[in-house]
Structure 1
């Protein structure tokens, strides 16, 4: 089982971690155990420090490892982003640990009851301190800036992803009120609120919106990208695990925003071929009339398949925002 985020519904992705990692407050128990075993704590016997540490860990009380989607990834982009987050966190510890440690040390060292502490009211400067206070942050910022520059270009959502598998699967994603339509022009099929992907195969998504601005993201695969009416954006993904993952809209767009989610199913090649056959057997034709009906604000609970699909549907949706007034725009805005 895996959680896609706080308050999300668990989904079975076939790659659940061991049972001991599923226990509530797993991270909290590990850190507290290390804290209790710490020689520093045994020597200092400073109860306020222990109390502060416990309070800092309380927010983790309801967390499990797989609720941290940024670290429990299922895609190549997500894995790269996880590494970047880990490196950044480690670098920031070089600031956090000295600051917190020195704050506690000064509070203990120069407490009122300590008569041995040296009193230096005229002290004003130290070259060694200046080196650490300015040099450390400059080095950290330089490293973070370099990493950010490199990763921003390397993880650009518009960049195609290399794979030993076949050519990318082309998918056209159209955002609506309050659902997602995924069209597979290579196979002449489409699905509402279900994105099927063969594992270890690059996915090339071309997106637009037939409503207000939205933002699509599959948290465990990384990379959020916006979809806007009259425009085309792109997103490339590479699933590395099979399973059923949660995808959703991350841009508020009205009454049905909270339920605008979809299933992102990563499957084997054989399962993907079977999925295509199932979609083609649906018997529902997606022409202009059916599409116009589909765009009406609604919150569908299930998945709907279509085949055949109007050719160049994405271009048709984008073009309507450049050649005239979009269908039902005034009515749909009022219903929102």
Structure 2
């Protein structure tokens, strides 16, 4: 078995674990606080990861430039607001369905690429996009009678809009992170990714601390009180990100992202066993169609 395969599966598992713990913390910390712990408790580990690569592996530290700084800030802010939307989504629908909405990100990226960049879509890609859209429609309508009116109502609902927006902003974040990493002048993809991760998580921590201090100082107190659970979220987030970056260094992004959809399997397991949430057949079918659409798009 090639090394990138178990690394990708581990990264997907850690990402799902982080989301599950964030949902658990939301009741005690609120949406903003539950989102903050991903960055606030993760940035020291991200910095340590870069330091270890420098001192143990001998990788030189790349020089930061203005292009890197701009893309890092854009990606960091986009990820903050996408995470907030995703955590809020868990309160609107169950854990598995909320995660499935965010998995429309690759499909949306293809549409944005066609509209904004003029990238051509193959017949297979168009079919994959339609499959993903049908999956989203099924999830939206899973709790109501099937009709065209209900379809329009479901897709215009707050749940659907928040979920689809979350996937779109996560897509912007991913593009910005890749641009930031590539703007660094070497020395290699692993160290460039580590530097990007360390700088972005540090910026996100400072930004959200200022935001919470301005909006509600009590959130900071609650985050400190839940340090045991919150620190686990931060660790899962950083190790998961390190896994994604490493896997994409060893293998093409398309293959890594395709295999990474195994996260939905972990998501359904967490939804059923941890949160005791009921998922009906239409929601399962919708999630399967979203996965099929994403895999078809990446394969094309």
TM-score by length of 1: 0.21
- Kindly indicate whether structure 1 or structure 2 has the higher relative contact order, using CA contacts under 8 Å at least 6 residues apart: 2
Whichever of the two has the greater Rg, that structure is 1
* Higher strand fraction (1 or 2): 1
